[in-house]
Amino acid sequence: MQVRIIAVGKIKERFLSEGIAEYEKRLVPYLKLTLTEIPEEHRGARASSGQKQLAKEKEGERILAAIPEHAYVVALDLRGKELSSSELAARMHDWQLSGTNTIVFIIGGDLGLSDAVLSRAAFRLSFSPMTFTHPMVRLILVEQIYRACRINSGEPYHK
């Protein structure tokens, strides 16, 4: 199985990059993971709501262009469904059994995801009603994908 994470923006914090790199190494025996960074749309600090909406739509176009044609798309969205680690593992197992070869997780930027991206998603996932930085969400996501792989392989994992 292939898993792709498409995320808006770059990670600036070294500790987050190192954590993500560690989980990328741990995932090698289980699946092929690809991280794709989509550039943030530049806008001024005093951008109007219309300018922000246009920026979100432009980011959305770049996200949609990066999604493989037959991929199963999971959008990370505050209004999405919250799952436990075991439930995420079961979903990933089910998606794979249904013939899904590629799962794409999408993390938007500070403006969120465009309606077009949310419409393309087959599933909307929320980690928490709490607010996390978008780079931090990447680390949490790769850790949860790793945890799901271990659960689905029948290996022990920390509860």
- Per-domain boundaries in the chain: 2-42+49-152
For 2-155, strand residue ranges (E) read 2-8, 32-38, 72-82, 102-107, 123-126
pLDDT for 116 beyond 90: yes
What is the per-residue pLDDT for 60?
Answer: 97
pLDDT for 157 beyond 90: no
Q: Is the pLDDT of residue 159 over 70?
A: no
Structural contact between residues 9 and 135, judged by C-beta atoms closer than 8 angstroms: yes
- Please determine, for residue 106, whether its predicted confidence score (pLDDT) is greater than 70: yes
The CATH code of the domain at 2-42+49-152 is 3.40.1280.10
Q: Note the pTM of the prediction, 2 decimals.
A: 0.94
Biggest alpha carbon–alpha carbon distance for the chain: 51
- How confident is residue 112, by pLDDT bands cut at 50, 70 and 90? very high
